[in-house]
Amino acid sequence: MTGTGFIQRAQRWLLVPAGTAVWVALGVVLLAAAVRAHPAERTRPDAARPAAETAVRTYVPDFEFRKGREIVLVLVGAAFCGAQREPGFPQALGDAKLRVRDQAAARGAQFRAVAVSLDWKTDEALAFLEGFGAFDELTVGSNWLNDGARRYIWRDLPGPAAVPQLLVVERDVETEPQVQVQVRNERVIKRISGALPVIAWVKDGARI
């Protein structure tokens, strides 16, 4: 083999690994640049946190039989009032439960959340309330003849015949399990009518 032939073969042999090395090096450079261009993808807080840590707080009833001072948040509504479609209203109601509960605890009082739906059909009433989270008590059906309407609008704690409305009721509960339960000194300390006024009240802190 001549010297020229050997050199030509050596050049062809060296060309393959040299070209491969160039492509590998180029790939490493491009990957490093992509990582530097999107550092947020590697450091997003939510990406490293368990789902439980990023979950939204929601009201959970404790279902205990208690006595003493009690503060009750009451929703009076119906599917025909359209509150469930008002942007921000379902979230505002969820926030109201938590904020009023916290204020009740600060006063040394118990807390309960009550919902009244005035739809004629009970299944429609329950479907309306589903979008508002958990309550301690539900009263549904019978339209304006509903026992909740009688209690919170017509007779016991009279107010405007309007839906939706939110009431904060304060009362004293005396209990003797399996013997007698009495509710005394019941009064409305806050009443807000209309979805937008409720949202505004909650944004302002839902103060009672």
Least confident of 46-50, 93-97, 132-136: 46-50
Tell me the mean pLDDT in the region 103-116: 97
Summarised one tens digit per residue, pLDDT across range 163-178 is: 999 999 999 998 876 6
Instruction: Indicate if the pLDDT at residue 18 is higher than 70.
Output: no
- Calpha distance 12→10 (Å, rounded): 5
* Structure confidence at residue 65 as a pLDDT band (50, 70, 90): confident
- Using CB atoms within 10 Å of the CB of residue 168, give its burial: 0 to 12 exposed, 13 to 18 middle, 19+ buried: buried
